[in-house]
Amino acid sequence: MKDSAAASEVEHERLDQLLQEYLASCRRGDSPDIELYAQAHPALADEIRELFPVVEFAEHLNADASDHVHFTPTRQAMQLGPFHLTREIGSGGMGVVYEATQPPLNQKFAVKVQKGFSTNSAVSQSRFTREAQAASRLHHPNIVPAKYYGTEASQNYLVMPLIDGVSLDRLIAAKDDVDPRTYLLFEDICTDWQRLAALGAQVASALSYAHSQGMIHRDVKPANLILAQNGNIWVTDFGLAKMRDDKSDLSCTGEMVGTPRYMAPEQLHGVADERSDVYGLGFTLFEIVTRQCPWAGPQNWGATNTILGERRATARGTSRTLEIPDVRELNPAIPDVFAMVIMKAIARNPESRYQSARELELDLNELCYRGNIDRRSSPRSRATLSKHQARSVAVLMGVSFILIAAIWVWRPFPEVAETLPAVPRKPPHNQSLFPPTHCITYAEPGTDLINLVITVNSRSDDAEEYGEGTMYLDSSDLELTWDEIDQIIGLRFVGVEIAPRSEISSARLCFYAERTDLLPTDLVVFGVDNANPISFTPLDYDISRRPRTLHRVKWNPERWTSGELYETPDCREIVQSLVNKTDWKSGNAMAFIIEGKGNRTATAYDGNYHYAPMLKIQYRKPAEKLVGSQGNDPVARRLPQVED
pLDDT tens string 65-75? 334 444 555 54
Question: What share of the chain has pLDDT > 90, as a percent?
Answer: 13
Given a contact cutoff of 8 angstroms between Cβ atoms, the answer to whether 336 and 328 are in contact is yes
pLDDT at 301 over 50: no
pLDDT of res. 244: 55
CA atoms within 13 A on the CB side of 104: 0
pLDDT at residue 583, rounded to an integer: 92
Q: Is the model's pTM score more than 0.85?
A: no
Tens digits of residue pLDDT in 262-290: 777 777 666 788 898 999 999 999 999 98
What is the C-alpha to C-alpha distance for residues 125 and 149, in angstroms, rounded to an integer? 12
User: Would you state the pLDDT for residue 404?
Assistant: 31
Displacement of CA 107 from its chain's centroid (Å) = 24
Contact, 444 vs 122, CB < 8 A?
Answer: no
* Structural contact between residues 613 and 491, judged by C-beta atoms closer than 8 angstroms: yes
**3 state SS for 487-506:** EEEEEEEEEECCCCCCEEEE
pLDDT the model gives residue 535: 77
467-492 burial code (b ≥16 CB/10 A, e <16): eebbbbbbbbbbbbbbebbebbbbbb
Q: Which of 88, 75, 81, 87 is nearest to 103 (CA)?
A: 81
Residue 387 and residue 340 in contact, taking contact as beta carbons nearer than 8 Å: no
pLDDT band at 541 (very low <50, low <70, confident <90, very high): low
Listing DSSP states for 196-264 in one string gives HHHHHHHHHHHHHHHHHTTEE----SGGGEEEETTS-EEE--GGG-EETT--STTSPTT---S-GGG--
CA-to-CA distance for 588 and 510, rounded, in angstroms? 20
The order of strands in the sheet holding 79-80 is 79-80, 83-92, 95-102, 107-114, 155-161, 148-152
Count the Cβ atoms, other than its own, within 10 Å of residue 636: 14
The band of 442, judged by pLDDT with boundaries at 50, 70 and 90, is confident
Residue predicted with more confidence, 321 or 436? 321
| Confidence label for 602 from pLDDT (cuts 50, 70 and 90) | very low
- The β-bridge partners of 108 are 101
In the sheet that holds 225-228, the strands lie side by side as 165-167, 225-228, 233-235
Residue 43 has pLDDT above 80, yes or no: yes
pLDDT of 319: 46
Q: Cα separation of 80 and 92, whole Å?
A: 19
Task: Give mean pLDDT, residues 460-465.
Answer: 35
Q: Is 539 helix (H, G, I), strand (E, B) or coil?
A: coil
CA-CA distance, 624 to 371, in Å (whole number)? 55
Whole-angstrom Cα distance, residue 241 to residue 9? 36
- The Cβ-side half-sphere exposure at 36, using a 13 Å CA radius, reads 4
Vertex 304 angle, CA 298 and 307, to 5°: 105
For residue range 332-383, list pLDDT tens digits in order: 989 888 999 999 998 888 898 999 999 999 888 888 766 445 443 433 333 3
Q: Which three-class secondary structure string do you get for 54-86? A: HHHHHCCCCCCHHHCCCCCCCCCCCEECCEEEE
* Residue 104 preceded by cis peptide, ω within 30: yes
For residues 392, 338, 163 and 257, what is the CA-based torsion angle, rounded to 10 degrees? 130
| Counts of helices then strands in the chain (DSSP H, E) | 15, 21
Give residue 480's pLDDT.
57
> Which has more pLDDT, 585 or 118?
585
Task: Find out whether 236 and 389 touch, Cβ atoms under 8 Å.
Answer: no
Per DSSP, the three-state class of 114 is strand
Kindly state the average pLDDT of the residues 526-531: 91
Contact 613, 525 (CB under 8 A): no
pLDDT score of 475: 45
Q: Looking at the predicted structure, is the pLDDT value of residue 552 above 60?
A: yes
Which amino acid, residue 327?
V
**Tens of pLDDT, residues 218-256:** 888 898 899 987 788 899 877 555 655 554 433 343 455
Q: What is the pLDDT of residue 378?
A: 38
Is the pLDDT at 300 greater than 50? The verdict is: no
Domain boundaries, the chain: 2-67, 164-389, 417-620
Average pLDDT over residues 592-602: 64
Under the banding of pLDDT at 50, 70 and 90, the label for residue 550 is very high
Please choose, from the candidates 228, 244, 224, 199, the residue with its C-alpha nearest in 3D space to the C-alpha of residue 361: 199
Q: Is 247 annotated as a binding residue?
A: no
Range 41-55 average pLDDT: 76
Q: Under a CB-based contact definition with an 8 Å cutoff, are residues 244 and 273 in contact?
A: yes
Q: Each residue of 85-141: pLDDT tens digit? A: 888 887 655 678 888 888 777 788 888 887 655 555 666 677 677 767 777 778 788
Does residue 594 contact residue 403 with C-beta atoms inside 8 Å?
yes
Q: How far is CA 629 from CA 269, 633, 638, 640, in A?
A: 87, 10, 12, 13
What integer pLDDT is reported at residue 478 of this predicted model? 57
Greater confidence (620 vs 230) lies with 620
Among the listed ranges 49-58, 142-151, 182-191, 493-502, which one has the minimum average pLDDT value?
49-58
Residue bearing the bigger pLDDT, 205 or 432: 205
Residue 577 — pLDDT band, cuts 50, 70, 90? very high
Q: How much is the pLDDT for 521?
A: 73
- Third-level CATH fold of 164-389: Transferase(Phosphotransferase); domain 1 (1.10.510)
pLDDT of 485 strictly over 60: no
- The gap between the terminal CA atoms of the chain, to the nearest Å, is 114
**pLDDT (tens digit, 9 = 90+) per residue, 147-192?**
888 887 777 888 888 888 888 888 888 877 788 888 888 888 888 8
CA dihedral angle for residue 551, residue 552, residue 553, residue 555, rounded to 10 degrees: 180
Segment among 72-76, 434-438, 541-545 with least mean pLDDT = 434-438
Residues 6+ apart with CB under 8 A from 430: none
pLDDT for position 183:
87
Kindly calculate the radius of gyration of the chain based on its CA atoms and give it in whole angstroms.
Answer: 28
Over residues 544-568, mean pLDDT: 82
> 306: pLDDT confidence band, cut at 50, 70 and 90?
low
Which of the given ranges, 174-188, 402-416, 426-440, 630-644, has the highest pLDDT on average? 174-188
Contacts of 77-85 with CB under 8 Å at 24 or more apart are 77/153, 79/152, 80/111, 80/113, 80/150, 80/152, 80/153, 80/155, 80/157, 81/148, 81/150, 81/152, 81/157, 83/109, 83/111, 83/157, 83/159, 85/111
pLDDT digits (tens, 9 = 90+) for 307-334: 555 555 545 555 445 567 888 988 998 9
State the Cα–Cα distance between residues 356 and 360, nearest whole angstrom. 7
